[in-house]
A and B are shown apart, each in its own frame.
Chain A
Amino acid sequence: DAEITQSPRHKITETGRQVTLACHQTWNHNNMFWYRQDLGHGLRLIHYSYGVQDTNKGEVSDGYSVSRSNTEDLPLTLESAASSQTSVYFCASSDPGQGPGLKQFFGPGTRLTVL
Chain B
Amino acid sequence: DQQVKQNSPSLSVQEGRISILNCDYTNSMFDYFLWYKKYPAEGPTFLISISSIKDKNEDGRFTVFLNKSAKHLSLHIVPSQPGDSAVYFCAALSGTYKYIFGTGTRLKVLA
Contacts and interface: CB of A to CB of B under 8 A. Distances in A.
Interface of A: 4, 31, 33, 35, 40-45, 48, 50, 58, 90, 92, 94, 96, 100-109
Nearest to A105: B46
Task: Say whether chain A's binding surface is mostly helix, strand, loop, or mixed.
Answer: strand
Given A43-B101, A44-B101, A100 B32 contact: yes
A77 B96 CA distance: 24
Given A42-B103, A43-B89, A109 B98 contact: no
Given A104-B46, A106-B45, A94 B102 contact: no
A101 B49 contact: yes
A70 B50 CA distance: 32
B42 interface: yes
Given A41-B103, A42-B102, A48-B98, A101 B93 contact: yes
A42 B101 contact: yes
Given A108-B41, A108-B43, A50 B97 contact: yes
Contacts, number: 57
Nearest to B104: A42
Interface string B26-65: 0000011010100001111110010100000000000000
Contacts of A94: 97
Contacts of A108: 41-43
Contacts of A50: 96-97
B32 A101 contact: yes
